[in-house]
Amino acid sequence: MTLKEFRTAFALAKDTNIDLSINNAFDGYGLRDFQPITTTIESVAALIRWQAMYIGHPKDSGPTFDEQELDSIRQIGRHKFIIVG
């Protein structure tokens, strides 16, 4: 996954009007022996939303994302997520 693809996936993840469903293809993606998978930007967006999003406080403008988790997904995705479509 390239940085441009990650940014596109992150933009989709931030848009809470878009329905994204996580799939189990990412189970164990952080493990050393996890093999690269072919996936879509929408699936990565769902992973980002599932793994890194926190619901904001009522006074906040919306959800927030854990920066360390975002960086982890980006780093792992560089080598293990092959984007198609």
Residue 58, pLDDT > 60, answer no
Number of domains present in the structure of the chain: 1
- Please give the pLDDT value at position 57: 58
Range of the domain at 59: 3-83
pTM of the predicted structure, to 2 decimals = 0.88
Instruction: Give, in degrees to the nearest 5, the angle at Cα 82 between 47 and 46.
Output: 15
Q: Angle, nearest 10°, between helix axes 67-80 and 3-14?
A: 130
Model confidence pLDDT, tens digit, residues 1-47: 999 999 999 999 999 899 998 888 999 999 999 999 999 999 999 99
Q: What is the mean pLDDT of residues 50-75?
A: 82
